[in-house]
Amino acid sequence: MPLSTDQQAEIDQARDGTQPTRRAVVPALEEILYQALPALDHGFVRVVDYMGDDAAVVQAARVSYGRGTKKVSEDRGLINYLMRHRHTTPFEMCEIKYHVKLPIFVARQWIRHRTANVNEYSGRYSILDNEFYVPRPEHLAAQSKANRQGRESVLAGKEAERVFDILKKDAELVYEHYLEMLNEGEDGAPLDPERSGLARELARMNLSLGFYTQWYWKTNLHNLMHFLSLRADAHAQYEIRVYADLMVDTLKRWTPICHDAFLEYRMGGASLSKTGLAAVKRMIAGEKVEQKSSGLNPREWRELMAVLGLG
């Protein structure tokens, strides 16, 4: 289960409380504030705090004193303009903080996005839970021969059974050894009162990347959208995309106008190189353009054809 009974009770208590404020409050996001949104088999995403809203972006761009008197349609036009022309600083005026439970290998991908504040669960002070990620059958795929970062056909039959068996047995074994080195049972009692046990900061190194960790991750709206543009993309690894998709929904609740602009210009748009743009102009002019005459290498050509829906 993603949450223990005590954790759920703590979340329920936090969600039951309200505070008077003069700050901007977003009702749609308040609906899910503190709530754990399930991800993968044991993970979750929770919004635990935020600052600002669509109006804060507009206010920063106009450098106005209050929340503004412009119409929503004018705010939408301004936000679209900012997104379209990559004026990023107004989006940096909003911030959001998440509590995320995720497999360690996903965390190692995620941490590549450096423009955030992160505080991770410490295996030096606490014992990690006996929870590890096992892919669902439809996501247990072979290595792609064409893409070193991708997957190909789904494993099936005895081959899939063998992989599942290895994943499960290895995880169970290393956790058993982890507790043995710590000299602690899952209930916290010493396994052998005569032994001291290895330091937690050393014992943790035996755990695999499939085990779960947790962290608080705080970032601004601009950097959140950059993260989502890469990790909610269809080419991103499935496991991190699960989290990104959940966060796209929180973005929609938090700043719906920015969310729409983000989908329009970042997720749904395309960027062309100088040579690629020249090739498109030649096509529009009626010229028959092929890869060899386009000036693009084969991979660039395939990508351009995919963007144009001609691949």
- Give the start-to-end residue ranges of the domains of the chain: 5-133+210-267, 274-308
DSSP characters over the chain: --S-HHHHHHHHHHHH-----SS---HHHHTTTT--EEETTTEEEEEEEEE--HHHHHHHHHT-SSS--S-HHHHHHHHHHHHHTT--GGGGG-EEEEEEEEEHHHHHHHTT--SSEEEEPPTTTSPPPS-B----GGG-EEEPSS-TT-EEEEP-HHHHHHHHHHHHHHHHHHHHHHHHHHTB-TTS-BS-TT-----HHHHGGGS-TTBEEEEEEEEEHHHHHHHHHHHSSTTS-HHHHHHHHHHHHHHHHH-HHHHHHHIIIIIS-----HHHHHHHHHHHTT----HHHHT--HHHHHHHHHHHT--
* Structure confidence at residue 188 as a pLDDT band (50, 70, 90): confident
State the average pLDDT over residues 285-307. 95
Give the chain's mean pLDDT. Answer: 92
% of the chain at pLDDT higher than 90: 74
Question: Which pLDDT belongs to residue 153?
Answer: 85
What pTM was computed for the model?
A: 0.91
Is the pLDDT assigned to residue 64 strictly greater than 70? no
Active site residues: 231
pLDDT at 220 over 70: yes
What CATH class is the domain 5-133+210-267?
A: alpha beta
